[in-house]
């Protein structure tokens, strides 16, 4: 019985009303980019959206990756919660709202819409700038030129870093050549463990991490799935210190 009440309390928090309005003027676009596949970009982006929505209004999560494993798509992760399913439009719609956890979710459904993702991006019918919202969290976008803030998510696992070096070099060149007042770039170490991992990763990439997010135990993701909610809502707040730090850095730019 206690578990049931806990689950209902979590769901109530997740489905809370959306405060404020989705203002289209003066958008702040935040790109969350993974250095290699499997860096944990979607977890960071979704957690950031939930955290920012607790701090301000007008937060939109935009699914922008055209290549994603179906089992970890935002739609699959969110649709388990009946509070989301009741409101889900099933596809990303620039002129519509899909509110869950005080966040506007602009995401792709599985079939058959996934097959024309590339076309919809190319013809400009579904761009991030068109979406309603004051703060747009873009999950792994291919285009970074229009982002006001870029957060590069790095998993310290060496093979994963090696696979993402092309993306890393692209962001590093932007960081080295641009005026910080024009575009902010944050380096986030995800799934951090021993201090030696951070030192070796910084030494290899020749950067200094701005934010460190501890590894979330795998059991949290399973508990969330079986409780029909999101990991963010059942994690201890201390375990999400990195996401909270990133949210505060972004809020300073609003």
Domain boundaries, the chain: 27-251
For residue 111, what are the CA distances in angstroms to 76, 90, 94, 106, 151?
Answer: 12, 10, 19, 16, 30
User: What are the pLDDT digits (tens) for 78-111?
Assistant: 877 777 754 544 455 555 678 889 999 988 766 5
As a whole number, mean pLDDT of residues 128-147 equals: 87
Residue 127 neighbours by CB under 8 Å, 6+ apart: 94, 121
Cβ atoms 63, 92 nearer than 8 A: yes
The topology under which CATH files domain 27-251 is Rossmann fold (3.40.50)
User: What are the pLDDT digits (tens) for 196-210?
Assistant: 899 999 999 999 999
**Confidence (pTM):** 0.82
As a whole number, mean pLDDT of residues 120-141 equals: 73
């Amino acid at each position: 019985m206690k578990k049931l009440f806990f689950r209902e309390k979590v769901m109530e928090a997740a489905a809370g009303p959306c405060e404020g309005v989705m203002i289209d003027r003066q958008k702040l676009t935040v790109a969350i980019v993974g250095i290699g596949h499997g860096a944990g970009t979607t977890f960071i982006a979704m957690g950031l959206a939930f955290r920012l929505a607790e701090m301000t209004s007008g937060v939109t999560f935009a699914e922008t990756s055209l290549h994603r494993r179906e089992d970890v798509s935002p739609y699959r992760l969110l649709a388990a919660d009946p509070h989301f399913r009741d409101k889900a439009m099933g596809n990303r719609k620039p002129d519509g709202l899909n509110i869950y956890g005080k966040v506007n979710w602009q995401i792709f459904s599985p079939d058959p819409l996934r097959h024309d993702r590339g076309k919809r991006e190319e013809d400009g019918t579904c761009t991030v700038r068109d979406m309603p919202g004051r703060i747009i969290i873009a999950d792994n976008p291919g285009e970074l030129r229009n982002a006001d803030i870029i957060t590069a998510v790095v998993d310290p696992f060496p093979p994963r870093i090696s696979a993402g070096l092309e993306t890393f070099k692209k962001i590093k060149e932007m960081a080295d050549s641009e005026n910080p007042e024009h575009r902010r770039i944050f380096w986030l170490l995800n799934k951090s463990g021993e201090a030696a991992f951070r030192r070796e990763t910084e030494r290899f990439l020749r950067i200094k991490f701005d934010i460190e997010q501890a590894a979330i135990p795998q059991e949290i993701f399973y508990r969330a799935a079986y409780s029909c909610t999101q990991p963010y809502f059942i994690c201890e707040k201390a375990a999400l210190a990195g996401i909270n730090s990133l949210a505060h850095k972004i809020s300073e730019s609003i």
